[in-house]
Amino acid sequence: MIRISDKPTKRVEHFTGTITMAFPGIENKVWNFTVLRSTNGVTTFAVQADHEQFQQHIDDGTHFDFCTTILEETVKANLAKEQAEWKPAEK
């Protein structure tokens, strides 16, 4: 018989957020992203930019990759410095 614990050892929580950032040549200034917070004894963060939103504003693939990476790294840096405001989502 195989026994599997009913309590996960790693938990991943998904949080949506926005950041105000300016990119050269792009009118939009408010960008959406998702934070993935993993807990397994140590809390780590991953960030995913809203690629659909970026595709609406950026046609060039190189510029797209650059902008999404800059956004993701900026959010991670702010999380590391505890400069993010965690608040309940509006209903």
- For 15, 65, 72, 86, the CA distances from 38, given in Å and listed in that order, are 11, 24, 16, 16
Which residues touch 17 (CB under 8 Å, ≥6 apart)?
32, 33, 34, 35, 75, 84
Q: Which tens digit of pLDDT belongs to each residue from 33-73? A: 999 998 877 888 999 999 999 999 988 777 899 999 999 99
Structure-model confidence comparison of residues 20 and 86, the more confident one: 20
